[in-house]
């Protein structure tokens, strides 16, 4: 029995050592896998670095490209398109004006009443309608007939609250957010369709003329007096409310910016005169590029797999269309390095482009529950992952933070680049080693778009970076103001200001 007991004891000891060895090996493997995942995160954080020095280089790069784009067509990644908009609203406009806003699969018809004085709110009515799918690939005549029909119905429903003189021909502002070569304040030739529209016979045509013919056919006594894109509309509404508004930025699914420029600086159009000596410039800043932008392998892969490679580089780093997919790509790399999300099915799900949309990313990033329940919900509903450890959820939030912070800080650098170009960044107000703040002018930038309005972390990071770049002393003169429904209302207000200037 003694020998048998000894043998059993030795056997159990061997088994225990074996089990212990297996556990130690498993623990070591888990640690190695986790270390690889952490390494992926650290490398990504370093690649997305937006130090103040780098942001100031981006500011300078934006300003240089703006100068180049104003000097010649094709001289810069920034198109710096002329809008021929020189008469911005003063607040003295009176009357009823209409707006049409076609920017995607939905369009809006608007009626705005102006009382001849600035007010915090504008009296207006809006009607939204989807564009039928078949009209997005039909003929230009069919599309514009449909729009004119909707406008006709809207006008017929005018309430007694909106009264205009019977002898007043109605002025119509048209927001058309597709690439257009503007030829005057009220006309422009369509360069190409985007956003799912493929109406070949419209390319190369003046879109204002197409709309005007549809209106005349229905005997609507309206004139298309202004053709703008959504950014210019946002600037117009901002200027109506506050005359210190000098720029507007759209930060939503896509991104763009415009600002008020002196005509004597527009070298590519020397001899172009305006009564005001200024003109709104549509930057098309989504295509901005600089070697100082913190581009990672994930950005390169996204760009290469997109329908427009080597195009819209800035937009792909800062706008809502792409942020969620950058997060997806980083998490996919982590999943391939380790099984922290569990199994092949997750890798398969994560391999689907744009399966993780930016609103989902924002929901995870802003999850303030102790156990990150919202992160768990999004991962489960999107990737069919039922159980994700808390430390992995925290890792996902960290990736979201890196992507969002980089995007917002780069957008801030772009805004400061505009301010520097027009002398509103305080760089000219230095004397004796101190800024001459008495020379600083109050400056308002109107910002529209769901990424900015709905994503508080993005908005906070953007504001923080503007202050960091400009310095607190100068930044207090710069107001970033949220604009809502600006693109459509702005077209109607611009129709009013242009009518008043004649």
Residue 366 burial (C-beta neighbours within 10 Å; 0-12, 13-18, 19+): middle
Of 108, 278, 329, 424, the active-site residue reads 108
DSSP state of 243: T
Kindly report the three-state secondary structure assignment for every residue of 257-303.
EEEEEEHHHCHHHCCCCCCCCEEEEECCHHHCCCCCCCCCHHHHHHH
User: Do residues 411 and 462 make contact, with C-beta atoms less than 8 angstroms apart?
Assistant: yes
Structure tokens at 221: 């006594």
User: Do residues 94 and 114 make contact, with C-beta atoms less than 8 angstroms apart?
Assistant: yes
* pLDDT in 10s for each residue of the chain, 502 residues: 566 555 545 455 444 444 444 444 445 566 677 888 899 999 999 999 999 999 999 999 999 999 999 999 888 999 999 999 998 998 888 888 999 999 777 889 999 988 877 766 678 888 888 899 899 998 999 999 999 999 999 988 866 555 555 555 688 999 998 888 888 999 999 988 887 788 999 999 999 999 999 999 999 989 999 999 999 999 999 999 999 999 999 999 889 999 999 988 998 887 666 677 899 999 999 999 999 999 999 999 999 998 889 989 999 999 999 999 999 999 999 988 887 777 666 788 889 999 999 999 999 999 999 999 999 999 999 877 778 899 999 999 999 999 999 999 999 999 999 999 999 998 864 333 444 444 789 999 999 999 999 999 999 999 999 999 999 999 999 999 998 777 788 999 999 988 766 6
Sign of CA dihedral 296, 299, 305, 309: negative
Whether 230 is a known active-site residue: answer yes
- In this predicted structure, what is the pLDDT of residue 164? 53
Of 76, 101, 111, 177, the active-site residue reads 177
CA–CA dist 405, 458 (Å, integer):
7
Of 101, 145, 206, 230, the active-site residue reads 230
Nearest to 237 by CA among 85, 91, 411, 451: 91
Residue 74 burial (C-beta neighbours within 10 Å; 0-12, 13-18, 19+): exposed
CA distances from 208 to 61, 103, 234, 390 (A): 35, 15, 20, 56
- In this predicted structure, what is the pLDDT of residue 14? 47
């Amino acid at each position: 029995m003694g020998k048998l007991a000894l043998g059993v004891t030795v056997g159990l000891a061997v088994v225990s050592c074996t089990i212990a060895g297996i556990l130690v090996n498993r623990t070591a493997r888990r640690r190695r896998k986790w270390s690889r995942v952490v390494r992926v995160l650290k490398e990504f954080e370093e690649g997305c670095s937006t130090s103040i020095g780098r942001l100031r280089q981006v500011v300078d790069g934006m300003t240089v490209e703006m100068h180049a784009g104003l000097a010649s067509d094709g001289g810069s990644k920034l198109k710096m398109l002329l809008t021929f908009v020189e008469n911005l609203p003063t607040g003295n406009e009176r009357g009823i004006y209409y707006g049409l806003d076609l920017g995607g699969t939905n369009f809006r018809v608007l009626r705005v009443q102006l009382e001849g004085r600035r007010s915090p709110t504008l009296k207006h009515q809006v009607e939204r309608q989807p564009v039928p799918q078949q009209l997005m690939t039909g003929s230009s005549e069919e599309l514009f007939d449909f729009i004119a029909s909707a406008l006709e119905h809207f006008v017929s429903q005018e309430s007694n609250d909106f009264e205009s003189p019977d002898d007043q021909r109605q002025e119509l502002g048209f927001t058309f957010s597709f690439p257009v070569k503007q030829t005057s304040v009220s006309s422009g030739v369509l360069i190409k369709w985007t956003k799912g529209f493929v109406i070949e016979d419209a390319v190369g045509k003046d879109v204002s003329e197409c709309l005007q013919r549809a209106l005349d056919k229905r005997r609507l006594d309206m004139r298309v007096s202004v053709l703008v894109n959504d950014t210019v509309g946002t600037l117009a509404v901002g200027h109506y409310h506050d005359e210190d508004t000098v720029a507007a930025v759209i930060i939503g699914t896509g991104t763009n910016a415009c600002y008020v420029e002196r005509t004597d600086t527009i070298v590519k159009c020397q001899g172009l005169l305006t009564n005001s000596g200024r003109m709104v410039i549509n930057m098309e800043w989504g295509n901005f590029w600089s070697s100082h932008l913190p581009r990672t392998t994930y950005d390169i892969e996204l760009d290469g797999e997109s329908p427009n490679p080597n195009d819209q580089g800035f937009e792909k780093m800062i706008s809502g269309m792409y942020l969620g997919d950058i997060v997806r790509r980083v998490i996919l790399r982590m999943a391939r390095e380790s099984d922290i999300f569990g199994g092949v099915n997750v890798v398969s799900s994560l391999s689907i482009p744009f399966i993780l949309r930016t609103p989902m990313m924002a929901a995870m990033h802003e999850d303030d529950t102790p156990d990150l329940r919202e992160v768990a919900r999004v991962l489960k509903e999107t990737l069919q992952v039922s159980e994700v450890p808390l430390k992995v959820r925290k890792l996902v939030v960290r990736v979201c933070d890196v992507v969002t912070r980089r995007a917002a800080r780069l957008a801030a650098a772009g805004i400061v680049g505009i301010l520097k170009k027009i002398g509103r960044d305080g760089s000219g107000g230095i004397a004796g080693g101190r800024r001459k703040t008495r020379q600083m002018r109050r400056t308002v930038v109107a910002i529209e778009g769901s990424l900015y309005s709905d994503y508080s972390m993005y908005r906070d990071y953007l504001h923080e970076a503007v202050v960091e770049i400009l310095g607190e002393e100068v930044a207090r003169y710069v107001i970033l103001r949220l604009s809502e429904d600006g693109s459509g209302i702005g077209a109607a207000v611009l129709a009013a200001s242009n009518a008043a200037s004649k």
